[in-house]
Chains A and B, each alone.
Chain A
Amino acid sequence: MRVLSEFGKFWYDLIVGDDWKIAAAVVVALALSALLLTRTGTPDQIVAVVGGTLVVLGFCVSLILDLRHKD
């Protein structure tokens, strides 16, 4: 059980890192972009721009939340 726990912690540290909110922001931004692509039939290039913008916004929001928590 301890080995499994260590194994899980290793991959969590590697992939998610210090702040889970950043990983969550990336997942949400990509999920919203995927919905835009699959549900609305929006052209590729617009999806790319909107997706990129969502990723940047997601990072900003997660960092602001992190800073508020630290303060």
Chain B
Amino acid sequence: MTTAAWAVLVATYVACVVEAVEATTIIMAMGFTRSWRSTWSGVATALLALAVVTTVFGYALTSWLPEAALQLAIGGLLLVFGLQWLRKAILRASHRKSIHDEEKIFREQQEAARLAGDQPDGFDVFSFMVSLKGTFLEGMEVVFIVITFGLNAHNVPVAVLGACAAVITVTILAVSFRKPLAMIPENTMKYGVGLLLASFGTFWAIEGLGVLGNRHKSIAWPGSDAAILVLLIIWFLVTRVFIVALAQSPGGADPRTPAPTKRTVK
């Protein structure tokens, strides 16, 4: 495998581990508190819906849309995702937002499951809907990540392999530990993935603007694909400047100090 393929594999794997951990927390909370059968039904329905949506939209997008329009649409979405992740990373690193804590989320989901009322003897709609929504929401982000990284490297199978490996890893860990996977450094991973998404998103969205030009073809960045590396460095520097500046301002904290004990859900 080439270096570029390995890079896509690792990037997709890390990004998908983050999403899979979040979905697993919701699934475990519903399963342990209410009904595993209904929870697994929700997960299976979400996976089926994801497969249908990916197939239909994937086919429609790649068949009917010019490449530049595809870049603009997916790049724009990825850019918004990435910048949202960077915003959270900056706020968390400067202690203006509580860190993402899977154990806290697990407890809150369990509490919500208990407050939803008694579990019926038959099919439990609450755990079905919550696990369906959680899996579908996190799964859609995985789909966008796989499509973007895969298409950009002209190697979708490797991106799919990375995503599958991530899901298998998280599933094995969840089954082994039978508790929320709080040991995974999710916040740091999210920061890294946010930088990647923002860099690829910027590169692609701007390239895709060419569909609006006279030639209706992607516009070229100076340095071609090397511009992605430059964008990565720029986004890293921008986020570091914000983190340091916020840490030194009133209400901030030194980013090197431990995270606050009070934690909230994203």
Residues of A within 8 A of B (CB): 10, 13-19, 22-23, 25-27, 30, 33-34, 37-38, 44-45, 47-49, 51-52, 55-56, 59-60, 63, 66-67, 70-71
Contact = CB atoms under 8 A, between A and B. Distances in A.
Nearest to B77: A15
B210 to A, nearest CB: 7
Interface stretch (B9-17, B23-31, B168-176, B215-223): B215-223
B79 A37 contact: no
Contact of A30 (B209, B219, B227): B209
Interface stretch (B80-88, B148-156, B255-263): B80-88
B4 interface: no
Nearest to B129: A6
B205 interface: yes
Given A33-B209, A67-B246, A17 B84 contact: yes
A37 B212 contact: yes
* Overall SS of chain B's interface: helix
Contacts, number: 98
7 contacts: A14-B141, A22-B80, A22-B83, A30-B76, A45-B222, A49-B222, A51-B209
A26 B260 CA distance: 31
